[in-house]
Amino acid sequence: MSTSRLRLQYLFERHYSKTATPQERAELFAVINASNNDEELSALIKKSWDDLDASNDIFGNEKSERMLQNVLRAEQATPVKPIKNKFRKWMPLLAAAILLITGVALYQRDKSVEKPKPLVTKKKQPLNDALPGGNKAILTLANGKTITLDDAADGTIAEQGNTLVKKTAEGQIIYNTAALDDANSPPVLNTITTPRGGQYQIALPDGTQAWLNSASSITFPTRFTGNNREISITGEVYFEVTKNKHLPFEVKTHRATIEVLGTHFNVMAYDDEQVMKTTLLEGAVKISNGNFTAQLKPGQQAQTTSKGDNKVLNDVDLDDEIAWKNGIFQFRDAKIDVILRQAARWYDVDIKYNHQIPNKEFNGRISRNVKASQLLEMLKYAGLDISIKGNSIIVN
């Protein structure tokens, strides 16, 4: 390799400060992607970055994050091959210089990602592409009446017993219990369903916050009574449960029951996924599936399969599990069919394989606000022949 350590350090510094010329950017990408000697390249990059690190008073977490933001705000992305496994051990130090090169520059980590705002999408879809999803959901009342929430005006949209159902200016649905005088009115069940290409946030009658991913549903009473707060879900839902030690919160899925008192957790229970995952971020939950029972601690994940196999994983990457809630596709050693099922739900498209499903795994992340074609560009660098035709993603 002819590129010297000092030259590579110079290229990193120019790239970080956004003063690199197009020729210098191309040179940096070429060095990283064209090396025939991974060990030499690894050593050269690490040494160059260490020197750059030392010359800038050592990069702490805050400065590394700021550097990453500066790099990722580049107006024009230049995706190239996914980063190789042996570089990952110093990924935090290489974030600003290398993360762009993994094809994730389309993701901008700003306030809109930390707290996603309702997405505005055009009704017309470009040829051979698919627009990202947005805030879409249908509320089904106890009498069977349906309300399209994305079209409903702000304010009170329904009365259910002694509960008013309201839509806020931010597009969130809240249940105002005891808003009416009829305290003897029994609670009734409501269901909120998101279609493919939809997501939604709701405040349940007890104040619990729930975020629904695409192709998901949540069924709940308009007022919690009795000895527990029981709801049921399909698809994927993230919860921040209001604490109430006298009324445990219960989530029922087609494979398991999850019991909590007050906690933050994510449940992924799609019918077309082989594994149901319950991931705990804060507090404690107990999951039950037949003879299997597990008490989870923060950072743990319970997995249950359609075949009855159950296990608990420790130290899972929580950012991976709730990336969807924060407006991101984030993949870590993810199989192609798993990624494309997520894409199908978010972009409301079908997946067609002309041959056997490729046995490949992929690492990377990208904003969920991009068009389907931009997500697929990332996958192409993993060696896939993939395209969009009409309402389908075609994998050759």
- Pair 222, 161: CB distance under 8 Å: yes
Report H helices in the chain.
5-16, 22-34, 38-55, 61-72, 91-98, 111-114, 318-321, 336-347, 372-380
Q: Residue 9's pLDDT is what?
A: 64
Q: 184-238, pLDDT tens digit by residue?
A: 677 889 999 999 999 999 999 999 999 999 999 999 998 898 889 999 999 999 9
| Residue 51 maps to a domain | yes
- Which tokens belong to 54? 């030392």
| Residue 381 maps to a domain | yes
Q: Which of 263, 298, 320 is the last residue of a domain?
A: 320
CATH at residue 138: 2.60.120.1440
Q: Residues 164-171: contacts with CB within 8 Å, 24+ apart?
A: 165/139, 165/190, 165/222, 170/118, 171/118, 171/135, 171/201
Q: Residue 109's pLDDT is what?
A: 31
Q: What angle is formed at CA 284 by the lines to CA 278 and CA 290, rounded to 5 degrees?
A: 50
Same domain flag for 10 and 64: yes
Partners of 354 in beta bridges: none
Domain that holds residue 75: 5-102
CATH at residue 365: 3.55.50.30
Same domain flag for 312 and 341: no
Q: Residue 73's pLDDT is what?
A: 42
| Residue 124 maps to a domain | no
| Residue 345 maps to a domain | yes
Same domain flag for 207 and 349: no
| Residue 116 maps to a domain | no
Structural domains of the chain, count: 3
Same domain flag for 278 and 197: yes
**Could you tell me the pTM of the whole model?**
0.69
Among 88, 108, 89, 96, CA closest to 61: 96
End-to-end C-alpha distance for the chain, whole angstroms: 35
Same domain flag for 153 and 282: yes
Same domain flag for 316 and 373: no
Among 95, 3, 93, CA closest to 50: 93
Q: Give the separation between CA 202 and CA 194, rounded to whole angstroms.
A: 12
- pLDDT tens for the chain, 396 residues long, are 455 556 666 676 666 555 667 677 667 766 665 555 555 555 655 555 555 444 444 344 454 444 444 434 433 343 433 334 434 433 433 443 333 333 333 332 333 333 444 444 444 555 578 889 999 999 999 999 999 998 888 888 988 877 888 888 888 889 887 555 455 677 889 999 999 999 999 999 999 999 999 999 999 998 898 889 999 999 999 999 999 988 999 999 999 999 997 899 999 999 999 999 999 999 999 999 888 899 999 999 999 987 888 999 999 999 899 999 999 998 888 888 999 999 999 999 999 998 888 788 888 888 898 899 888 888 887 678 888 988 899 988
Same domain flag for 292 and 248: yes
Q: Which of 266, 290, 320 is the last residue of a domain?
A: 320
| Residue 120 maps to a domain | no
- If you count DSSP H runs as helices and E runs as strands, how many of each does the chain have, helices first? 9, 24
Q: Which of 282, 298, 320 is the last residue of a domain?
A: 320
| Residue 183 maps to a domain | yes
Same domain flag for 150 and 85: no
Same domain flag for 315 and 384: no
Same domain flag for 302 and 385: no
| Residue 117 maps to a domain | no
Q: Residue 37's pLDDT is what?
A: 56
Same domain flag for 275 and 354: no
Contacts of 253 (CB under 8 A, 6+ apart): 232, 233, 234, 267, 269, 276
Same domain flag for 186 and 281: yes
Q: Residue 374's pLDDT is what?
A: 87
